[in-house]
Amino acid sequence: MSYSFISPRDEKELKEEISAPGSFTMSGGTDLLVKIRMGKISPQKIVSTSKISTLHFIDENDDEIVIGSTITHAELLEYKPLREAFPVLFDAIYTIGSPQIRNRGTLVGNVMNASPAGDGLLALYLLDAKIEISNGDAVNIDEFVVSPGRTILPKGEYVKSIHIPKSKWDHHYFEKVGQRNSMTISIVSIGWLIKCGSEAIENLRIAFGSVAPTILRLKDVEKFSKGKKIDEKFVHVVSDMVKERVNPIDDVRGSAQYRKKLCSNLMYRMVEEGIKC
Amino acid sequence: MNVREERSVATSLSSDKNFDVVNTSVEKIDGYALVKGKPVFTDDFDVPDSLIVKILRSPHAHAIVKNVDASKALELSGVACVLTYKDVPRIAFTRAGQGYPEPSPYDTFVLDKKVRYVGDAVAIVAAESEEIARKALKLIKVEYDVLDNIIDYEHAMDENAPIIHDESEISGAYDPKHNIASHYEMHFGDVDEELSKCDVTTEKTFYTPNQSHAMMEPHAAISYFDANGRLTIITSTQVPYHVRRIIKRIFGVESRVIKPRIGGGFGGKQAVHVEAYVTAVTLKTGRPARCIYTRKETMTASNTRHAMRFKIRVGADKDANLRVIDMQGLSNTGAYGEHALTTFMVAGSKTLPLYNKVNAVRFMGDIVYTNTESAGAFRGYGAPQGAFALDCALDELAHKLGMDPVEFKLKNSIREGETSPVFKVMGEGREGVEQIVGSCKIEECAIEGAKLFNWHEKRERQRIEGTKAHGYGVAFAMQGSSIPAIDMGGATIKMNDDGTFNLMIGATDLGTGSDTILAQIAAEALHTSVGKFVVYSSDTDVTPFDKGAYASSTTYVSGNATKRAAERMAREILKAASEITGESVEKLHLENGKVISKSGKSLTYSEIQTQLFYTFKQRQLEVTESFVSEVSPPPYMVTFAEIEIDLETGKVDVMSMLNYVDCGTPINPLLARGQVEGASSQGIGMALYEEHIFDKNGRMVTDDFFTYKVPSRDDIKKITVKFADSYEPTGPFGAKSVSEIGLDTPGPVIANAIFDAVGIRVNRLPIKSEDLYFKLNERGLTP
């Protein structure tokens, strides 16, 4: 196992380096290095984005927050407006790995890893984030991620940033169920955003992790929820809908049957959280 | 007796000791070096010109090695040698680092023509660099004749099961033709008759899992010939003297074994793992050889805890007198029989004496070979396995009697001044020794512990509220302090003219803090401070013999040896001072690093040794003392725990845990607390998270920290440790052991608390959320 390691100074140099065959783009390296060590990939060249100053930024305007591709999880947690604007993203990032991992790992890395269990990724699905690619395209997150470990990013291109449109929500929730409490990969993860109308749900978004090849947004459940009141009866119905729509697999962390049960049970958290609308 | 009565246990210290150094939390003497990242571990030793050693391991659980073709690997530039079973001595031995003769069967070869688990060694490769060594591994072509295997130990004795050890050289195994490495049975009284007379009985089968030690530092060793051609081995071991003896047995060569600082062992390093491989390379090539295991090798190709199954039957009369315990066990020793018999016996010998009022006891079972990683020594050494079955069964019996389990267990447990016939019947691999319990504060542990934990108030609380259930559990435990009549340790103390002492011990500090507490013991006896001791451990060419760090023995055995040596040194100092001053010894005493006479004169230790070096009756003051234990005083512990179950997911959280411990005098309360907290954490891991999962070919899937989950800080929450006021008459300054006992209770206390919360008796560890969820679901306790 031997490879060259290159750390371009600007985006032009980056683009040249990553077009070579066998080259892998590295952000924090928290997934890439693990994969190399496990023998899952054998790169000929690793191209690090860490020294490129134009990728290291957080921009904010009235409509959106834009996160550059070398911004780490820890930096995001320290960025005060994030917690106010996107508390669900804050909560999700907070559960990623350990402090050491969060100091290295980036949100863009979490997207590129395209894990069905990706914590930050789940929040980005909920927030309708867009991925800005170096060729100028901006792609919706659910179209960007294709399957475990795969995205539509063309060879020779890289992710410049993530755009998260600002939106107002009354309630947010993120939870991952793992066997242990931290440094864990979820058996199932769940997140939702709720905007209440005067008497009922005005808008709801819901997503699950680790139950399908990608993060799963349940848009028909979202549609169904509009105008409904959150009570036991409502939760009972959506919990059944959820059970039918998730499509988990058996693995070492848990069986498909257990995962299905978890998904539907976690819906009851809506009532337990005391959400009234 | 009613523990609910408002009463307190008398807590007068049974001795008149006023300690200066002992029973204080002095700083760990190597603490700063460790946090500053000083080069202290085996891998930090830079032996120039070392070959890097890698092991080619079997991908099959059970196979004959038909042919090894290393020609391609040997052609690779930088490969020094590739050794196969044809190149190493065919001497059967056991990797278990135990006293001699070992109670474990001789069923292992450095390399064999048969492989017995996925990860078993096939060839040793040595090369100029790690990269070349890795390349060479890939170039070796091995032809295997794959055999049927046994992964599930409950099928090891099946009629048509393949025979794992059919080699002719095997010795000391009970019935290898039927895959039985060891067998044990004992009884007194008639268990069946007693059970028939009982008013209440319980019968259940309990399972405890394999567990990985998960120590931070992996297995590592370096070997080389010194300038005079003496073989030297630097190794991360708990047992340097046993390593020296076993290397001699295999290769017929004398050696010097140096143990630097060890980065955790937990019993995993009470064995010969890497030493034989590097030695084989150094003997073959004449060159230094270094081998540092990867995490995967440490997980899959070293040792694991013996998984055990116990069918247990217990019975009591209607007055809650426990009358009978019957434990029939099965233990999985994996591919080789390391510690097979002894861990199994400890499952009985370190649990049964706790309940000494029974009329009949039986303890029996088989320890079987399977095609899985070899089991070995692991903190607790069988006691956590036995305690899980016994304590849970007694909990259930208390429930059937409608009695508070604290009250039931306490009523039937042993007291100071009493004995148990089990002490004499069951030793480690042979008969034990009779002993009267000289210190036992289990009443304080239970009664004061219950108050501290709010046990009675908590048990009045509602258990299920909304989607959460809360439960409260208690578990009782004992352990031992050393293996009596076998374990021996020595200590040497040498006085220097600057007023310092060299304390040289064979005892092996593997992170426990034994270097520190042994210095405290010596400082106490010599009336000086810890800072005056230069501790060195251990080097077989320099330090006196010590059996090594295992069986909760270092504080007790090495501590007693150190105390003896220090007391003799004190006498030598007084004698020298008497000669110098002309005053009789009776008129002199030691105080604060000086000899003080009744006439008011004083001489510092420095002044005395300076005179003895240069001007007066010249000699070096140096003493060596040994200690072999006659008894193994048990520490005791009562653990209370509160757990929370999420009824929607089946997830269990240990909200708080109180360990009330009788370990005699804690020599260093802070380090003792650390031992209990650490053991509790490992016990929580065993109870809730840690699991070896195998694929259908017998490969361990959970071979890294990504998939093998040791508890994180968030899983431990609140552990409180409280020490009973206790003094063990035979211990050094009243001390008993404290390093293992903490692992005995988490399994049963969590299972008992789950039963208390939701009425489900979990009989298998680890308790996985998923399994518990479906049990809750069956009972209609889930949404």
Q: Quick check: B448 pLDDT over 70?
A: yes
Chain B CA closest to residue A256: B770
Q: Quick check: B13 pLDDT over 80?
A: no
Of A165, A181, A215, the domain-final residue: A165
Based on the fold, state whether residues A230 and A248 are members of the same structural domain: yes
Based on the fold, state whether residues B417 and B470 are members of the same structural domain: yes
- Is residue B173 in some structural domain? no
On chain A, the residues whose CB falls within 8 A of the CB of B693 are: 252
Of B300, B333, B358, the domain-final residue: B300
Q: Quick check: A150 pLDDT over 70?
A: yes
Q: Does A255 contact B689 at a Cβ distance shorter than 8 Å? A: no
Based on the fold, state whether residues A183 and A86 are members of the same structural domain: no
Q: Does A181 contact B714 at a Cβ distance shorter than 8 Å? A: yes
Q: Quick check: B547 pLDDT over 90?
A: yes
Based on the fold, state whether residues B275 and B312 are members of the same structural domain: no
Which ranges constitute the DSSP H helices of B328-472? 340-349, 383-400, 405-411, 421-425, 442-453, 455-458
Asked if A79 reaches chain B (Cβ–Cβ under 8 Å), the answer is no
Vertex A71 angle, CA A69 and A72, to 5°: 125
Chain B CA closest to residue A98: B712
Q: Quick check: B5 pLDDT over 50?
A: no
Q: How far apart are alpha carbons A254 and B737 in whole angstroms?
A: 40
- Is residue A277 in some structural domain? no
Q: How far apart are alpha carbons B456 and B466 in whole angstroms?
A: 23
- Is residue B183 in some structural domain? no
Cβ atoms within 10 A of the Cβ of B286, count? 11
Asked if A183 reaches chain B (Cβ–Cβ under 8 Å), the answer is yes
On chain A, the residues whose CB falls within 8 A of the CB of B704 are: 38
Based on the fold, state whether residues A68 and A111 are members of the same structural domain: yes
What is the model's pLDDT at position B12?
41
On chain B, the residues whose CB falls within 8 A of the CB of A179 are: 651, 688-689, 709, 768-769
Chain B CA closest to residue A235: B783
Q: Quick check: B77 pLDDT over 90?
A: yes
Q: Does A272 contact B774 at a Cβ distance shorter than 8 Å? A: no
For residue B689, the distance in angstroms to the closest alpha carbon of chain A comes to 6
Question: Are the CB atoms for A146 and A152 separated by under 8 Å?
Answer: yes
- Is residue B27 in some structural domain? no
Based on the fold, state whether residues B620 and B642 are members of the same structural domain: no
Based on the fold, state whether residues B332 and B476 are members of the same structural domain: yes
- Is residue A12 in some structural domain? yes
Based on the fold, state whether residues B554 and B619 are members of the same structural domain: yes
Q: Does B649 contact A262 at a Cβ distance shorter than 8 Å? A: yes
What is the model's pLDDT at position B722?
98
Q: How confident is the model at residue B16 (pLDDT cuts 50, 70, 90)?
A: low
- Is residue A51 in some structural domain? yes
Any long-range contacts for A81-85 (C-beta under 8 Å, 24+ apart)?
Answer: A82/A58, A85/A60, A85/A164, A85/A166
Q: Does B783 contact A184 at a Cβ distance shorter than 8 Å? A: no
Tell me which residue of B735, B771, B751 sits closest to B651, measured CA to CA: B771
Q: How confident is the model at residue B14 (pLDDT cuts 50, 70, 90)?
A: very low
| CA B429 to mean position of chain CA atoms | 16
Q: How far apart are alpha carbons A110 and A70 in whole angstroms?
A: 11
Tell me the residue ranges of DSSP E strands in B174-244: 180-188, 200-208, 220-225, 231-235
Mean pLDDT of A244-268: 93
Q: How confident is the model at residue B1 (pLDDT cuts 50, 70, 90)?
A: very low
Its domain, for residue B656, covers: 307-483+631-778
Q: How confident is the model at residue A82 (pLDDT cuts 50, 70, 90)?
A: very high
Q: CATH number of the domain at A112, please.
A: 3.30.465.10
B208: left (phi over 0), alpha (psi -120 to 50) or beta: beta
Question: Are the CB atoms for A134 and A47 separated by under 8 Å?
Answer: no
Q: CATH number of the domain at B140, please.
A: 3.90.1170.50
Q: How many CA atoms lie within 13 A of B709 on its CB side?
A: 24
Asked if A3 reaches chain B (Cβ–Cβ under 8 Å), the answer is no
pLDDT, tens only, B366-383: 999 999 999 999 999 999
Q: Does B466 contact A34 at a Cβ distance shorter than 8 Å? A: no
Based on the fold, state whether residues B721 and B768 are members of the same structural domain: yes
Based on the fold, state whether residues B459 and B535 are members of the same structural domain: no
Question: Are the CB atoms for B389 and B307 separated by under 8 Å?
Answer: no
On chain B, the residues whose CB falls within 8 A of the CB of A254 are: 769-770
Based on the fold, state whether residues A244 and A159 are members of the same structural domain: no
Domain count, chain B: 3
Q: How far apart are alpha carbons B546 and B548 in whole angstroms?
A: 5
Asked if A1 reaches chain B (Cβ–Cβ under 8 Å), the answer is yes
What does the block give as tokens for A23? 């080259």
Q: CATH number of the domain at B365, please.
A: 3.30.365.10
Asked, as a colleague might, if the bond just before B666 is cis with ω within 30 of 0, I would say no
Based on the fold, state whether residues A159 and A209 are members of the same structural domain: no
Based on the fold, state whether residues B337 and B292 are members of the same structural domain: no
What is the model's pLDDT at position B427?
87
SS3 B338: coil
Tell me which residue of B527, B251, B578, B206 sits closest to B388, measured CA to CA: B206
Q: Quick check: B204 pLDDT over 50?
A: yes
> Which residues, other chains included, contact A213 with Cβ-Cβ below 8 Å and sequence gap of 6+?
A116, A147, A148
Calculate the average pLDDT of chain B.
Answer: 96
The full DSSP string for B251-280 is H---EEEE----S--TTTTSB-SSHHHHHH
Asked if A96 reaches chain B (Cβ–Cβ under 8 Å), the answer is no
pLDDT, tens only, B286-326: 999 999 999 999 999 999 999 999 999 999 999 999 999 99
- Is residue B95 in some structural domain? yes
Its domain, for residue A208, covers: 171-272
Of A150, A165, A180, the domain-final residue: A165
Q: How confident is the model at residue B708 (pLDDT cuts 50, 70, 90)?
A: very high
Chain A CA closest to residue B770: A258
> In this complex, which of A180, A252, A272 lies closest to B712 when CB atoms are compared?
A180
Chain B CA closest to residue A2: B131
Based on the fold, state whether residues B579 and B637 are members of the same structural domain: no
Chain A CA closest to residue B296: A38
Q: How confident is the model at residue A1 (pLDDT cuts 50, 70, 90)?
A: low
- Is residue B658 in some structural domain? yes
On chain A, the residues whose CB falls within 8 A of the CB of B714 are: 180-182
Based on the fold, state whether residues B723 and B701 are members of the same structural domain: yes
Q: How far apart are alpha carbons B483 and B485 in whole angstroms?
A: 7
The full DSSP string for B693-746 is -B-TTS-BS--STTTS-PPPHHHH-EEEEEE-----TTSGGGB---SSGGGTSH
Of B277, B300, B323, the domain-final residue: B300
- Bridge partners for A48 per DSSP: A26
Based on the fold, state whether residues A210 and A237 are members of the same structural domain: yes
Based on the fold, state whether residues B64 and B125 are members of the same structural domain: yes
Based on the fold, state whether residues B317 and B329 are members of the same structural domain: yes
Place of tokens 């990867």: B294
- Is residue A77 in some structural domain? yes
Of B300, B315, B343, the domain-final residue: B300
B532: left (phi over 0), alpha (psi -120 to 50) or beta: alpha
Q: How confident is the model at residue B3 (pLDDT cuts 50, 70, 90)?
A: very low
Which one of A37, A100, A180 would you mutate to disrupt binding with B, by most B Cβ within 10 Å of its Cβ?
A180
